[in-house]
Protein backbone atom coordinates (compact mmCIF):
# COMPACT_ATOMS: atom_id res chain seq x y z
CA UNK A 1 0.00 0.00 0.00
CA UNK A 2 1.10 3.51 -0.76
CA UNK A 3 1.33 6.08 2.07
CA UNK A 4 -1.60 8.01 0.57
CA UNK A 5 -3.77 4.87 0.74
CA UNK A 6 -2.76 4.27 4.35
CA UNK A 7 -3.64 7.88 5.17
CA UNK A 8 -7.08 7.44 3.56
CA UNK A 9 -7.64 4.39 5.73
CA UNK A 10 -6.63 6.28 8.88
CA UNK A 11 -9.02 9.12 8.00
CA UNK A 12 -11.88 6.64 7.62
CA UNK A 13 -10.97 5.04 10.96
CA UNK A 14 -11.50 8.45 12.54
CA UNK A 15 -14.94 8.45 10.92
CA UNK A 16 -15.74 5.12 12.54
CA UNK A 17 -14.56 6.50 15.89
CA UNK A 18 -16.81 9.57 15.57
CA UNK A 19 -19.72 7.30 14.62
CA UNK A 20 -19.10 5.28 17.79
CA UNK A 21 -19.04 8.47 19.86
CA UNK A 22 -22.31 9.62 18.26
CA UNK A 23 -24.02 6.36 19.14
CA UNK A 24 -22.78 6.66 22.73
CA UNK A 25 -24.23 10.20 22.99
CA UNK A 26 -27.60 9.19 21.54
CA UNK A 27 -29.05 7.86 24.85
CA UNK A 28 -28.07 11.10 26.60
CA UNK A 29 -29.82 13.04 23.85
CA UNK A 30 -32.98 10.96 24.19
CA UNK A 31 -33.00 11.39 27.98
CA UNK A 32 -32.49 15.16 27.63
CA UNK A 33 -35.41 15.42 25.21
CA UNK A 34 -37.73 13.41 27.46
CA UNK A 35 -36.89 15.50 30.51
CA UNK A 36 -38.16 19.04 30.86
CA UNK A 37 -34.71 20.52 31.49
CA UNK A 38 -33.14 22.92 29.00
CA UNK A 39 -30.12 20.75 28.12
CA UNK A 40 -31.81 19.19 25.09
CA UNK A 41 -30.31 21.82 22.80
CA UNK A 42 -26.77 21.16 24.04
CA UNK A 43 -27.18 17.43 23.62
CA UNK A 44 -28.56 17.93 20.13
CA UNK A 45 -25.61 20.12 19.10
CA UNK A 46 -23.15 17.56 20.43
CA UNK A 47 -24.92 14.71 18.63
CA UNK A 48 -25.24 16.67 15.38
CA UNK A 49 -21.57 17.65 15.48
CA UNK A 50 -20.44 14.07 16.04
CA UNK A 51 -22.68 12.76 13.25
CA UNK A 52 -21.45 15.44 10.85
CA UNK A 53 -17.81 14.68 11.70
CA UNK A 54 -18.42 10.95 11.29
CA UNK A 55 -19.98 11.38 7.86
CA UNK A 56 -17.26 13.78 6.71
CA UNK A 57 -14.44 11.46 7.80
CA UNK A 58 -16.16 8.34 6.48
CA UNK A 59 -16.36 9.98 3.05
CA UNK A 60 -12.62 10.59 3.24
CA UNK A 61 -12.38 14.27 4.26
CA UNK A 62 -11.12 15.34 0.80
CA UNK A 63 -9.60 18.70 1.85
CA UNK A 64 -7.44 16.96 4.44
CA UNK A 65 -6.30 14.36 1.93
CA UNK A 66 -5.48 17.00 -0.70
CA UNK A 67 -3.48 18.93 1.91
CA UNK A 68 -1.59 15.85 3.13
CA UNK A 69 -0.85 14.28 -0.27
CA UNK A 70 -1.20 16.79 -3.12
CA UNK A 71 1.05 14.71 -5.39
CA UNK A 72 -1.31 11.72 -5.14
CA UNK A 73 -3.99 13.71 -6.99
CA UNK A 74 -1.60 15.19 -9.53
CA UNK A 75 0.47 12.04 -9.94
CA UNK A 76 -2.31 10.10 -11.65
CA UNK A 77 -3.17 12.93 -14.06
CA UNK A 78 0.49 13.60 -14.85
CA UNK A 79 1.07 9.89 -15.42
CA UNK A 80 -1.85 9.68 -17.85
CA UNK A 81 -0.67 12.82 -19.67
CA UNK A 82 2.80 11.36 -20.20
CA UNK A 83 1.28 8.05 -21.23
CA UNK A 84 -0.57 9.76 -24.08
CA UNK A 85 2.62 11.41 -25.40
CA UNK A 86 4.65 8.19 -25.64
CA UNK A 87 4.49 6.58 -29.05
CA UNK A 88 3.83 2.86 -28.96
CA UNK A 89 5.38 0.49 -31.47
CA UNK A 90 3.19 -1.40 -33.90
CA UNK A 91 4.97 -4.72 -33.37
CA UNK A 92 5.45 -6.79 -30.26
CA UNK A 93 3.23 -8.37 -27.63
CA UNK A 94 0.63 -6.27 -25.79
CA UNK A 95 1.34 -5.01 -22.29
CA UNK A 96 -0.52 -6.90 -19.57
CA UNK A 97 -1.35 -3.64 -17.77
CA UNK A 98 -2.31 -1.04 -20.38
CA UNK A 99 -2.72 -3.17 -23.53
CA UNK A 100 -0.33 -1.08 -25.66
CA UNK A 101 2.32 -2.85 -27.73
CA UNK A 102 5.74 -3.45 -26.14
CA UNK A 103 8.78 -3.50 -28.47
CA UNK A 104 10.39 -6.87 -29.09
CA UNK A 105 13.17 -7.54 -26.58
CA UNK A 106 12.02 -4.86 -24.16
CA UNK A 107 11.22 -5.88 -20.60
CA UNK A 108 9.38 -2.67 -19.61
CA UNK A 109 6.32 -1.10 -21.24
CA UNK A 110 7.24 2.40 -22.54
CA UNK A 111 3.73 3.71 -21.78
CA UNK A 112 2.92 2.58 -18.26
CA UNK A 113 6.25 1.23 -16.98
CA UNK A 114 5.04 -2.28 -16.10
CA UNK A 115 7.32 -5.23 -16.70
CA UNK A 116 6.37 -8.08 -18.96
CA UNK A 117 5.52 -11.46 -17.44
CA UNK A 118 7.94 -14.31 -18.02
pLDDT digit string (tens) for 45-76? Answer: 899 999 999 999 999 898 988 898 887 665 55
pLDDT band at 118 (very low <50, low <70, confident <90, very high): low
What are the sequence ranges of the domains in the chain? Answer: 3-82, 86-118
Any long-range contacts for 3-9 (C-beta under 8 Å, 24+ apart)? 3/69, 4/65, 4/68, 4/69, 4/72, 7/65, 7/68, 7/69, 8/60, 8/65
| Average pLDDT of the residues in 20-26 | 93
pLDDT at residue 95 is higher than 60: yes
Q: Which residue has the higher pLDDT, 45 or 113?
A: 45
Amino acid sequence: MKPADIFKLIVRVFGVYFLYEATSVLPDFLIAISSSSGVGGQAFLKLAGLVAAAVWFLFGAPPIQRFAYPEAQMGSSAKSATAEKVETPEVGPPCVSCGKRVPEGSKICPVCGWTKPR
